[in-house]
Amino acid sequence: MEARHLRLVETPAPQLSVEHQSARDHIWENAVRANPSLFDGPAVVCTALVWEDKGVLCFSWARTTYRSFALRRVPGAPAVSSVFVTVAQPTDDGRLVVGRMSPSTAAPGRWQFPGGNVEPPTAGRTLDENELRRQACKELAEEIGVHVAPEDLTLWTVTRGEHGNIGVHFQPQPLPEDILLRQFEALTESETADGRTPEFERIVAVDCADAGRLEGPHADYLETLLAQHSPQTAGRSDD
């Protein structure tokens, strides 16, 4: 979805029956036993999506926690659509950086752009396009060690994928691949030295032709956005 601007409106969380709450909690507790690193932290779900005039995409959102995503495995439960941000970091030759999730994460082995689920704003903040940029910058720094200012991110595109999940994808200015790899290596060494497991076990720079050679699962938006990026890459190389 080629939105020029986003407008976000907070709504109440969907009401659940006692049966759906019980089933959700049972599934979540089993998941935590299987993967103790799972954390029932704050999250955001999309409750409605509407196009407005002049390329403005408005979506309504509600506060929840990660356990609500277990409802996807409960027959008849309300739909749960997450909202996430990514940063499609270009290299100076026009490829995009993707990372493979570590085994301890909720999606081990999956290739995706740096990013993560959107969290509700803390006191004094509003969930708007600027806040999404801020959270995207935070994910970029935490996952590959690259620090950019929120105002340096450009809204690239919005996707709607599996379970109706809303992905808001940003792009910063290109950086040389060797610098990106060195920053990721420094982050990995620091995280490991502090006893933490990095979220990405590996990063690579790819274009649409490389996507099929990435072994393992891919985020559902990945191949589409790599293909969408390739005409821009070709245009730059002809200049």
pLDDT digits (tens, 9 = 90+) for 47-94: 999 999 888 999 999 999 999 999 999 999 988 999 999 999 999 999
The pLDDT score that the predictor gives to residue 231 is 55
- Residue 234 sits at the vertex; the CA angle it makes with 229 and 237, to the nearest 5 degrees, is 130
The pLDDT score that the predictor gives to residue 54 is 80
The pLDDT score that the predictor gives to residue 26 is 96
Q: CATH for 5-237, among 3.90.79.10, 3.40.980.10, 3.30.56.10, 1.10.10.10?
A: 3.90.79.10
Q: At CB < 8 A and 24+ separation, what contacts does 28-36 make?
A: 28/67, 28/70, 31/70, 35/104, 35/106
Is 0.85 topped by the overall pTM? Answer: yes
Q: Which residues of the chain have pLDDT under 50?
A: 234-239
What element of type H or E holds 134?
helix 129-144
